[in-house]
Structure 1
Amino acid sequence: MTIAPDTPSTTLENSYAEDGFVVLKDALNSAEVAALLAETARICRGELGAIDGAVASSPDESDDEVIRRFLCVHYPHKLSSLMLDTMRHPAVVEALTRIVGPNVKAMQSMLFVKAEGKPGQAWHQDEMFIPTRDRSLTAAWIALDDATVENGCLWVLPGSHRDGVIYPNREHDDPRYDCTVESFDFPWTDDDAVPVELTAGSVLLFNGYLLHKSLPNSGRHGYRRALANHYMSAESLLPWALPHEGQNMAQADFRDVVLVAGRDPYAYKGIEQLRQPRIRPDRDGGCDR
């Protein structure tokens, strides 16, 4: 992994605080990326376990035919020990401890495939979907292919995380994007957006309040594969689901988590298996709302 040397004004922490994102160039080596790509094919074929909403593949289909049916698989770390190990990747975790703190837990993984023609995702903030108590939510977006403007890399609005405001959202019918709602009524325009192009093996770390989006893969061939993991401070409760009976919302704490650094102050609560691997609707055939 190569990161520019820290100076008083350009430390990883300062860049992240100022812009809401930072790139870890070449955090994964080529062998690690190749292994994750091979694992992607096994996951999409259903060889590692069931995926809710996936169409079963047949032995006579090529990996390419199978993979391009998918846009995104949620929770691949529950199917693959390699994906779980990557959630704990030392280069990513070291950076997370500098940004989030010494104690870090993960709660979600998403394996994006995005073949040519597949849609992107409209402007949104991850914290809107995964609410933390302390604004510590951080995504690690690992490029498994070179991510370019042509094949649908992420676009960000630098600094849009600073106010800690969750902007309103609405349904949309924009064919460029999948079925996820879009954020709106924020004080930036598309002219302020910056594309984040990455080489395979590089990682984009970004704040849960940062507005970001992606456009369709408009390339003539190939994929824009990426593994995105979400992390937060282990000291913070995670009110990602309704509280148990007899609890109030302030006590709600989603416990389907993976500790990746330090200690878990809430380990006494145990770990629950609450979410199962599933696919994300890609607008093909409409959105089930």
Structure 2
Amino acid sequence: MANRSFKIIPKCTYSEDPRMLHIVSQLIGEDLTAVNCMLINKPPGTHEHPPHQDILYFPFRPANKILATWTAIDPVSRDNGCLYMLPGSHNPPVLHEHRDHVNQAKLFFYGLVNAGQLAPEHQRVHLEMEPGDTVFFQSTIVHGSKPNVSKAYRKAMTCHFASSECQYIEVAGTRHEQLAKQMEAELRRRGSDLSYVDMWRIKTKQVKGVRSNL
């Protein structure tokens, strides 16, 4: 789902833009928590982000009550690394097996183990976008982005929103466990004793309606 109208309102943060929250609330409910908001900058020469599901990173459920927004700041093309989606891959909402792409020299850079079957090239829909274009997608949809082979940067804003219906889950023994241990090890290296769930609690912000349990 895309919209071409999102120029940020002055004095309004990206995650609090009322035009965007109006759409998000129609998809996952009126009570919304922003759980992860990022400015993404993809320099020339950046590798592909392999096919993955965002739900891997989130230790809360239900998955169908978590929604991503992704807004282009620069023109986004296949040359500078546009997003691609696998239509219908969010249904049923299951978390597939992922592995850490350590060869990319990036922490927490996970991709699908069975990408050839789950994300074949001929089924990928590439999202070329103009500044202000915004796409909304479920947390379980398989997606990724191509390498930036242009000479320009590719910048975008993105935020994940969760409904107040969401609850934290126990990650031990699940497909989240490896990532959680890796994150906690990195936090300890930086002098913090936060748990994986603690980290997510700190990152969240209520942006509409009733406060959630996140």
TM-score normalised by the chain length of structure 1: 0.58
The two structures, once aligned, show a CA RMSD in angstroms of 2.6
Equivalent of residue 232 in structure 1, options 158, 162, 175: 162
- Displacement of 1:216: 1.4
Please give the alpha-carbon distance, in whole angstroms, between the structure 2 residues aligned to 1:153 and 1:187: 19
2:3 aligns with: 24
Equivalent of residue 211 in structure 2, options 243, 252, 264: 264
CA contact (8 A) 1:141 1:229 kept: yes
SS in 1 for 2:154: coil
Structure 1 residues 1-289: aligned runs within 5 Å:
22-28=1-7, 85-135=13-63, 136-172=65-101, 180-185=109-114, 186-219=117-150, 221-239=151-169, 254-256=200-202, 257-266=204-213
| Structure 1, unaligned runs of 5 or more | 1-21, 36-81, 243-251, 272-289
Q: Deviations over 1:99-142 (max 9, x none)?
A: 01011101111211112112231111000111332111111111
- Would the alpha carbon gap of residues 194 and 178 (structure 1) be closer, same or farther in structure 2, given more than 3 Å must change? farther
- Would the alpha carbon gap of residues 191 and 234 (structure 1) be closer, same or farther in structure 2, given more than 3 Å must change? same
- Would the alpha carbon gap of residues 192 and 237 (structure 1) be closer, same or farther in structure 2, given more than 3 Å must change? same
Code of the aligned partner of 1:262: G
Please give the alpha-carbon distance, in whole angstroms, between the structure 2 residues aligned to 1:107 and 1:119: 26
Q: Deviations over 1:188-236 (max 9, x none)?
A: 41210010111101111111000001111111x2211011111110221
Q: Deviations over 1:43-74 (max 9, x none)?
A: xxxxxxxxxxxxxxxxxxxxxxxxxxxxxxxx
Code of the aligned partner of 2:48: G
Q: Deviations over 1:129-156 (max 9, x none)?
A: 1133211111111110011111101011
TM-score normalised by the chain length of structure 2: 0.77
| Structure 2, unaligned runs of 5 or more | 173-196
| Higher RCO (C-alpha under 8 Å, 6+ residues apart) | 2
How many percent of aligned residue pairs carry the same amino acid? 25
Q: Deviations over 1:146-168 (max 9, x none)?
A: 11111101011000001111111
CA contact (8 A) 2:206 2:212 kept: no
